[in-house]
Amino acid sequence: MADHDHDHDQSQSQSHDPRRGGRKVRVAVVGASGYTGGEVIRLLLEHPGVELAFLSAERNAGATLGSVHPWLRNHPAAAGLKFRPLAELEEVDIAFGCLPTGALPEHLPLIAERARRVLNLGGDFRLRDQAEVEAYYPKTAKNPPIEDFAYYVPELSPSVPESRFISLPGCMAVTTIYALYPLFAASLIDPRVVVDAKTGSTGGGRGSGEPPAERSGNFRVHKLYGHRHAPEIGQAIAEFTGATMDLRFSTHSLDVARGIMVTAYTDLLPGVSPLDVKRAYAKAYVGKPFVRVRTAPKAPQDFPMLKAVVGSNVAEVAIAVRDGQCVAVAALDNLVKGAAGQAIQAMNLICGFDETAGLPTTAVSP
Ligand SMILES: NC(=O)c1ccc[n+]([C@@H]2O[C@H](COP(=O)([O-])OP(=O)(O)OC[C@H]3O[C@@H](n4cnc5c(N)ncnc54)[C@H](OP(=O)(O)O)[C@@H]3O)[C@@H](O)[C@H]2O)c1
């Protein structure tokens, strides 16, 4: 990669600026035949500044885009697109990593050689504490990253990372982070927090073996303890607010294809008023186009709900305060704001596009 080698002599910010001379940003989607990969493609097909240069698949290598993701087959640009083995990866400006957790480390040297920047949607390199990596990502622990990954939440990270390697947050983790961040940032709550998260079936990826007939009409536990997003939430809250939390985090499986809803139960510190809480949420998300605080909700449909966010890159957040307690709720589409849309938002900021380019704010309903 001649141009890339030359770039190592330049400053970090210049060397990895993927947008060159106003030309389109060349993008690879690695793991493009899966659910998040398909969603990255769906959104990027409508993005004005991007060329879909390479789509990788493993079992689906050789297949056409329209045969694997029939919902994309009518886009005029879909006709010529095919999945190829990852070994054939071309030189690109940005690679979106959409591989199952545990699969990226072995492919990273190749991807790092051929992509200027890597935006990873998978969980492999989010956690910094080695003991936590070993406990929650044992496969990853055997393959330490060849370079450090920056953990990036566009609304909360202090700046756009300079690093070539960026980890986007986990879907249930970031829903919880959006719900809780203002309370910790303004030091309004006790560290002990109980979070109840519910997620749709696409959260498990396309390879999830659960028969639809068994998910249909059911509502069940996913994990009561030990979900790998729990340490990520603690790490992110500490990084963005300096607070240490004592988190109880349980997850449940919903009978919907898309969507996550999180309910977080917290105790306010003595003397904290409902107005303090309201102001903290307003301050945290002012000027953030994709985190919308529902102010003064009264009727059930005023609160965050899946039908207001699914299909969009919006996370909705709301709070209810009573008797020294605050219940915070947040909802988002796991495949958009929880994955593909979040990564494209990051790409927009890295490449100097408008933050909102190619990203929907309206939901698909009924
Ligand atoms: N699903 C969500 O809501 C969500 C949200 C946020 C983050 N994430 C993270 O995003 C990542 C992808 O999730 P997903 O739901 O899109 O998974 P998925 O539907 O299972 O798709 C995985 C993709 O990776 C390819 N692949 C599988 N094993 C491979 C290997 N060893 N080498 C090369 N390619 C391989 C698959 O190709 P073939 O199918 O052609 O074999 C497919 O394209 C995961 O790390 C997940 O944790 C998921």
Q: Domain with 238 in it: what CATH number? A: 3.30.360.10
150 bridge partner residues:
166
Using one digit for the tens of pLDDT, what is the confidence trace for 93-127?
Answer: 999 999 999 999 999 999 999 999 999 999 999 99
- How buried is residue 72: exposed, middle or buried, by Cβ count under 10 Å (0-12/13-18/19+)? middle
The answer to whether position 361 is within a domain reads: no
DSSP 322-347: ETTEEEEEEEE-TTIIIIIHHHHHHH
Same domain, 342 and 306: no
Q: Using the atom order of ligand 1, give the atom closest to the CA of residue 103.
A: 31
Same domain, 186 and 328: yes
Residues with CB under 6 A from ligand 1: 31-37, 57-60, 86, 98-101, 103, 121-123, 171, 202-203, 205-207, 334-335, 338-339
Furthest C-alpha separation in the chain = 64
171 is catalytic: yes
Ligand 1 pocket test: pick from 84, 121, 261, 345 the residue with the most ligand atoms within 8 Å of its Cβ: 121
Query: Coil, strand, or helix at residue 166?
Result: strand
Written in H, E and C, the secondary structure of 10-55 is CCHHHHCCCCCCCCCEEEEEECCCCHHHHHHHHHHCCCCCEEEEEE
| pLDDT of amino acid 223 | 97
Residue nearest to atom 31 of ligand 1 (CA): 103
Q: Domain with 148 in it: what CATH number? A: 3.40.50.720
- Give residue 242 CA to ligand 1 midpoint distance, Å: 32
Long-range pairs of 5-13 with CB within 8 A, sequence gap ≥ 24: 7/116, 12/162, 13/162
Q: Using the atom order of ligand 1, give the atom closest to the CA of residue 32.
A: 43
Same domain, 12 and 156: yes
Same domain, 125 and 209: no
The answer to whether position 238 is within a domain reads: yes
The answer to whether position 49 is within a domain reads: yes
Same domain, 136 and 243: no
Give first-to-last CA distance, the chain, whole Å: 48
The domain tally of the chain equals 2
How far apart (Å, rounded) are the C-alpha atoms in residues 271 and 188? Answer: 9
CA distances from 221 to 176, 254, 265, 325 (A): 17, 9, 18, 25
Ligand 1 pocket test: pick from 33, 36, 72 the residue with the most ligand atoms within 8 Å of its Cβ: 36
43 touches 69 (CB < 8 A)? no
Query: If you search the block for the tokens 């700046």, which residue do you land on?
Result: 159
Using one digit for the tens of pLDDT, what is the confidence trace for 128-170?
Answer: 999 999 999 998 998 877 778 999 999 999 999 999 999 999 9
At CA 126, angle to CA 124 and CA 131, rounded to 5?
85
User: Is the whole model's pTM more than 0.85, yes or no?
Assistant: yes
Range scoring the smallest mean pLDDT among 18-22, 146-150, 153-157, 309-313: 18-22
- Give residue 218 CA to ligand 1 midpoint distance, Å: 25
The answer to whether position 364 is within a domain reads: no
231: CB partners within 8 A, 6+ apart: 127, 129, 132, 135, 136
| Percentage of the chain modeled with pLDDT above 70 | 94
- Domain hosting residue 196, numbered range: 172-334
Residue 11 has pLDDT above 70, yes or no: no
How far apart (Å, rounded) are the C-alpha atoms in residues 183 and 262? Answer: 15
Same domain, 136 and 213: no
Same domain, 346 and 329: no
Same domain, 154 and 194: no
The answer to whether position 52 is within a domain reads: yes
The answer to whether position 366 is within a domain reads: no
Same domain, 191 and 218: yes
The answer to whether position 360 is within a domain reads: no
60 touches 83 (CB < 8 A)? yes
Same domain, 264 and 293: yes
- Asked whether the CA dihedral 201, 202, 207, 211 is positive or negative, the reply is positive
The answer to whether position 69 is within a domain reads: yes
Using one digit for the tens of pLDDT, what is the confidence trace for 196-240?
Answer: 999 999 999 998 888 989 999 999 999 999 999 999 999 999 999
Same domain, 105 and 221: no
Same domain, 150 and 237: no
